[in-house]
Amino acid sequence: MAKADYDQNMMMSEERCWDAVSKRNAEKDGQFYFGVLTTGVYCRPSCPARPPLRKNVRFYESPGDAERAGLRPCKRCRPLDGRADEATIEKIRAVCAFIQANCESGDGLTLETLAEIAGWSPFHLHRTFKAVLGITPKQLLDACRVSALKTKLRKGGTVTAAVYDAGFGSSSRVYENVDKNLGMTPAQYQQGGKDVGISYAYAKTPLGLLLAAATDRGLCFVQFGESVDDLMKELKSEYPQAKIAESNAGQPQMDVWMQSLTEYLKGEPKALNFPIDVKASVFQLKVWRYLQTIPRGEVRTYGEVARAIGDAGASRAVGTACGANKLALVIPCHRVIRGDKGLGGYRWGVERKTVLLENEKKRYTAQQR
């Protein structure tokens, strides 16, 4: 695939990913991976196996994300091939299996012990593991423990017991990274998020209908759409157990935030420094935090963002993280463009991206005069 074609397809929605899987589109191999929950495997988009049901499919940025979700590589399409030779891949698989089997007890889970399993030095294991899977052994261990914690919370019992049984040394390790691990506190997760209140408001803007929603911790949803019904369906699919109500019934602050968003779209030089409450992977959070530092009137390429967050080879993953953004404007993914300076994709349409960038450039230029 030519680089220009690759860049145009970096930010793929789940609909486009599913379309690629349905068509077994080999051109999308390496851009994303899909996992099948019923079989426990993850595959390339071009996998020749029998197509799964859509409801059983999840999409991942990298093999590492799929591995952290507890999936294993498909033996038919071999999604890790091309990343390393077979002997290296088998050693990585052995290390992954050991981590997954011992994550709760913690027995032998040092880098030195894992390196002995592979027959490498600790440095070589760490470097090769990340090159093949896109994550470090420590990140896989943390993900396995979070998965175990979720399982134990669903089974009942006390939160404290679940935290320690899952292999966490203290409850503070879970709570200090709560956004990264669960997107809510362990107690809320155990109850299916049913006590999480979400307020929303919507308005017509120069760029179309905009709906914003927030928990008591910050904005969790800001998106453009064709109708309120469509946007509400998407909000409810993100938070099916939450108590969702219009802002006048729950959170008056929501109206203030909505006013700031609409004024920004009308050309007011507003700073959208709002508190946010989003569920995301470690990598997504790293990308989104950097995007919030890009000044208005400026842009960055996918490669520049990757280098800025210390992962120069992750341009493709940066594009996927931009496409997963749920907070339009607040997390300004529209300020990321292709390496050849083309606009690239945008979750809410390239036309909106064009207008946003042009307006921000005009405001920035006017402020400099």
Give the integer Cα–Cα distance in Å for 164 and 168: 5
Residue 347 near residue 10, CB atoms below 8 Å: no
Residue 185, helix vs strand vs coil: coil
Residue in the block written with tokens 């880098």: 111
Cα distances (Å, whole numbers) of residue 75 to 50, 128, 228: 13, 21, 44
User: What does the alpha-carbon distance between residue 234 and residue 240 come to, in Å, rounded to a whole number?
Assistant: 10
Catalytic residue (choose from 77, 103, 322, 333): 333
Under DSSP, the state recorded for 31 is: T
240: β partners: none
* Count of helix runs (H) and strand runs (E) in the chain: 18, 10
Look at residues 291, 265, 241 and name the one whose alpha carbon lies nearest to residue 359.
Answer: 265
Tell me how many degrees the CA angle 13-15-21 measures, rounded to the nearest 5: 105
Tokens of 353: 């991206």
Does the annotation count 333 as an active-site position? yes
| 43, 47, 103, 144: the active-site residue | 43
CA distance 287 to 278: 13
Is the CB of residue 332 less than 8 Å from the CB of residue 276?
no
Instruction: Calculate the alpha carbon distances from 293 to 108, 165, 273, 276, 351 in Å.
Output: 40, 39, 10, 15, 23
Tokens 């945008």, residue located: 346
Sheet architecture: strand order including 218-225: 218-225, 208-215, 197-205, 243-246
Active site positions, annotated: 43, 333
